Structure 1
């Protein structure tokens, strides 16, 4: 029997304890949370001026609110005591303006406003800890909202009276079904939307496969195609078919029908055996392997490389490494909601600090990967009202179950991430910001984004909670090349799946050349007019301008080099659970 050295044994014991704890805390580090609240409490206790202001604020507002409440009982046209924020949809129904629900909702908004004041601008509290405390207070308030309880929600009470309680009966049925599916981990039924049958149906062939990717080459639908093909690198946190959903909103179909040869990386869903795959593997076995395969099929032509979210960050790394090594195969670079500077990476940074990463690494060490449920939980916290509480009210209290659509199906189809790769990704990019600082190493040599010389088309979305547009915009200060920047309506996913004809879509677009002076984001958004419609069209025109002409469509694969068609699209990896 092999015995572990004592130091390694102690480390293993610590990791096992953290991994067990992590199952109860949903991956959140208790030490990180305690440090944040302790920082806030200590500095609050040493700020008597702030405390007196808070006391005066609540007393003054409660006195005024008491008078307003008495008037609200008999004056239905009374102006609200607190006006909700512009994007707060909780109390928009007219029933909330009736007594006593107007008093209930306004009381909640008043106390929500006070807690916002109480958890911010405390002298001496670090910004990271202040953001964590403010975020935690917001989660508790979202949970305690009167909209979440039948007896304080007039919309629920009204429907209960009108339906004779059928909404509550239907909601209970839905709750029991969800509990059953969660506990038994049951797959979707045959009636649901299915990959390869309803979505991800653009014709094509898998022409290359290794342990990490399948490379799909889509079949041409025009007599001639642009000489330079398009390679799409999706995020490995989700399945690739976000860009090949239903036929009406498939970006792949949109490009193929307009005369482009499109290749798509489909990532393998890692398991325990893949725990030691690292970032260099994702470069070598992922992007570079795909580029090498395309170069065998279409030699001596440039490639339009497209990266989405994490795939865009990885593609930026590869492009910088290729520029360093004088590899000129890229014709252009397109980035969808991809961050290259992580100093202001949005609310995801709430889960990124030394304590939290160490704790997460121990959880991943135990399993060999980051579980999909943990990732889904983090994203749900960022948008708890949209993804959790409003859904629970609609389904369990109102009995209104929205049918699954293609985007919802994709959103539920997450993938795992290998222990070593995800640890490197979080530490080197999010925590240390090595890529933007010129410290990121590819094959033991640093790379710089300023070495990239191909034209860049970058897309950010206005309401992105994962990659905030101002964070994406930072690439304008990091790249030394022509950048066409687009800010489009929608969120991280819906803003990208923005096909022509989609209602209420708009975007702003501008070009920054290498010799131009930097424009701050606040000025950029004021100086560029809004255009109605989809940004897909100007992007396709941009690709066409950076292409060299039309040629006959390439064959599927290259049998002479071993790239024969293996299986029809969507392939095997996308079906892995």
Structure 2
């Protein structure tokens, strides 16, 4: 007599082995999660007041205009029910096919089975009907101010994206097909990736976006030759070796953001801004900021200005023997450069001949896509966290930036690496993006409270270092470069800020692409173009409508602008001098050092 077990097909040895591996990895997963430290609850989402206000507004709308909300609910129910009936009718006809699918194209649902297989198609269409209903429900709430509406829109979108069927193994045809093709090996590799990421981050889930073993700072990244010629508790100053026999007389100093590392401007040789600048004949200095630890808790914006910006300018003038110099500030360093220029005007310091601002915000009256995170509930939680730890952790900032593009930087990668077992790519830009730095507690709080929330610099003035610093004090010739699809420093907001300066020589360039790709855009790639227009009196919409488009990188245009402000040609300068002997080879020690104690 045979039994059901005797008649059952044998499990393939490879599949059995993979099942055992999954059981072993599950134990490591539990152990990794047990090490996770409790996170500050205020950093996990908005406080309940947002949802309470939304519910109150929704209920008020129901009381005053029930027909409107009933219409919305009935529309959702009818769409969902009609689709269910159509699917049932297909089955009743004996057809293993989905009903007509008129849903818009969505890269998440690119597998043909989402259109052809009745099970997957039914799930997809029901999800998209729900997603549309959720968005409409949010838009129909009227008794919320615009800030709360923007926050509710953002957080509801996060919930909708999280619930996408592509995020779950049982409803993701790509992951299921891959598991069958590999006899479960893809799931084993995916679980290994998940466990490794949890173990590397003390139980905190941070999706690894890049193959970290493929890069080394100073090895195949940040390789432009140079020397560290000065060092203090805030930064190392790198002077790059000349690439031409003669150089422009006026030196150039670049201040990168200290949220990340400076080598975004010196990635691989073929897309290195640093290398390209030296090849155009400039004496280039780069500030490499320290990665602060808890001992830097009381370091504020004033320290970054006095012991950072002004100290670097002082040393560059001493090394080159020049009384004036050109400066560049990128992102938050561009914001701080504007503060520094205002302070220098108050002090009568005319050392800066020209300034270049890369994706730099100076007017925060519109908080853009950061609106959900710049309200008091989040900022209060950040202040508490930073005050307790002494720093605002790079992980918190990295997670915030990632969730501004959660489909591309959270959910999508999690599916590929955890459910399909793919290996993260060897992508230099993503490697840099994951190599963040902490912010000192005092500085982070000043930045969030005084600049982002109160907008002091652009409005009543920022009281700092015994002076009232105002945006309108900035009067040096400047070139500002912003990026068309930048979601961190939206170009229209950057433009509005630079309109408020009092400089008589103002140049604004709008590059195609985003916060990084629009800046790191070497001419050799011939990839992204840029827009220019001389009249900065126009509002941003008219400026963009009338601007002239130019093919290719903005770098050569900026070089022509800078060359006119860089003096005559002089013999090339070797890094350092007798008072500034080389302390280390570029890229220096601060860029690879762990956070200070």
TM-score, with structure 1 as normaliser: 0.88
Asked whether the 8 Å contact 1:297–1:554 carries over to 2, the reply is no
Map 1:416-427 to 2 at 5 A.
Answer: 416-427=438-449
Task: Output the CA distance in 1 between the equivalents of 2:458 and 2:101.
Answer: 47
Aligned to 1:137: 156
Task: Output the CA distance in 1 between the equivalents of 2:565 and 2:87.
Answer: 64
Task: Give 1:78 deviation, angstroms.
Answer: 7.9
Q: 1:255 to 1:237 in 2, by over 3 A?
A: same
Task: Output the CA distance in 2 between the equivalents of 1:353 and 1:510.
Answer: 35
- Among residues 556, 574, 577, which one is paired with 2:591 in the alignment? 574
- Among residues 505, 508, 518, which one is paired with 2:531 in the alignment? 508
TM-score, with structure 2 as normaliser: 0.85
Aligned to 2:33: none
- Among residues 505, 520, 531, which one is paired with 1:497 in the alignment? 520
Aligned to 1:47: 61
| Residues 1:278 and 2:278 are matched in the alignment | no
Task: Give 1:357 deviation, angstroms.
Answer: 2.1
Asked whether the 8 Å contact 1:455–1:483 carries over to 2, the reply is yes
Task: Give 1:476 deviation, angstroms.
Answer: 3.8
Secondary structure at the aligned position of 2:214 is classed as coil
Aligned to 1:15: none
Q: 1:475 to 1:259 in 2, by over 3 A?
A: same
Deviating runs (4+, > 4 A) in structure 1? 66-80, 184-191
1:372-397 deviation line (CA, Å, top 9, x unaligned):
21111211221111111111111122
Task: Give 1:116 deviation, angstroms.
Answer: 1.1
Aligned to 2:183: 164
| Residues 1:154 and 2:173 are matched in the alignment | yes
Task: Output the CA distance in 1 between the equivalents of 2:99 and 2:161.
Answer: 26
Aligned to 2:362: 340
Aligned to 2:14: none
Asked whether the 8 Å contact 1:307–1:313 carries over to 2, the reply is yes
1:492-545 deviation line (CA, Å, top 9, x unaligned):
2222211123364222222236xxxx2222222222243332222212222113
Aligned to 2:342: 320
Asked whether the 8 Å contact 1:309–1:337 carries over to 2, the reply is yes
Aligned to 1:17: none
Task: Give 1:347 deviation, angstroms.
Answer: 2.1
Map 1:537-548 to 2 at 5 A.
Answer: 537-548=556-567
Aligned to 2:74: 56
Task: Output the CA distance in 2 between the equivalents of 1:158 and 1:436.
Answer: 55
Task: Output the CA distance in 1 between the equivalents of 2:423 and 2:551.
Answer: 32
Aligned to 1:413: 435
Secondary structure at the aligned position of 1:183 is classed as coil
Task: Give 1:110 deviation, angstroms.
Answer: 1.9
Secondary structure at the aligned position of 1:575 is classed as coil
- Among residues 114, 122, 126, which one is paired with 2:145 in the alignment? 126
1:90-124 deviation line (CA, Å, top 9, x unaligned):
12343322232333222212211111111234222
Q: 1:64 to 1:479 in 2, by over 3 A?
A: farther
* Higher mean C-alpha displacement, 133-142 vs 478-487: 478-487
CA RMSD of aligned residues (A): 2.7
Q: 1:190 to 1:134 in 2, by over 3 A?
A: closer
| Residues 1:114 and 2:133 are matched in the alignment | yes
Q: 1:476 to 1:279 in 2, by over 3 A?
A: closer
Q: 1:273 to 1:476 in 2, by over 3 A?
A: closer
- Among residues 558, 568, 593, which one is paired with 1:549 in the alignment? 568
Q: 1:76 to 1:495 in 2, by over 3 A?
A: farther
Asked whether the 8 Å contact 1:27–1:374 carries over to 2, the reply is no
1:12-49 deviation line (CA, Å, top 9, x unaligned):
xxxxxxxxx9943465277x521111111111110022
Aligned to 1:447: 469
Q: 1:133 to 1:544 in 2, by over 3 A?
A: same
* Higher mean C-alpha displacement, 548-557 vs 371-380: 548-557
Task: Output the CA distance in 2 between the equivalents of 1:289 and 1:450.
Answer: 24
Aligned to 1:28: 43
Map 1:200-215 to 2 at 5 A.
Answer: 200-215=222-237
Task: Give 1:407 deviation, angstroms.
Answer: 1.3
Map 1:219-298 to 2 at 5 A.
Answer: 219-298=241-320
Secondary structure at the aligned position of 2:516 is classed as coil
Aligned to 1:11: none
Secondary structure at the aligned position of 1:133 is classed as helix
Asked whether the 8 Å contact 1:227–1:549 carries over to 2, the reply is yes
Q: 1:576 to 1:168 in 2, by over 3 A?
A: same
1:186-221 deviation line (CA, Å, top 9, x unaligned):
999994311111111111111111111111111101
| Residues 1:99 and 2:117 are matched in the alignment | yes
Secondary structure at the aligned position of 2:524 is classed as coil
Task: Output the CA distance in 2 between the equivalents of 1:381 and 1:574.
Answer: 26
Task: Output the CA distance in 2 between the equivalents of 1:522 and 1:143.
Answer: 34
**5+ long unaligned stretches in structure 1:** 1-20
Q: 1:69 to 1:184 in 2, by over 3 A?
A: closer
Asked whether the 8 Å contact 1:81–1:106 carries over to 2, the reply is no
Secondary structure at the aligned position of 2:253 is classed as strand
Asked whether the 8 Å contact 1:345–1:467 carries over to 2, the reply is no
Q: 1:478 to 1:60 in 2, by over 3 A?
A: farther
**5+ long unaligned stretches in structure 2:** 1-35
* Higher mean C-alpha displacement, 160-169 vs 519-528: 160-169
Task: Give 1:60 deviation, angstroms.
Answer: 4.2
Aligned to 1:16: none
Secondary structure at the aligned position of 2:282 is classed as coil
Task: Output the CA distance in 2 between the equivalents of 1:231 and 1:520.
Answer: 31
Asked whether the 8 Å contact 1:22–1:28 carries over to 2, the reply is no
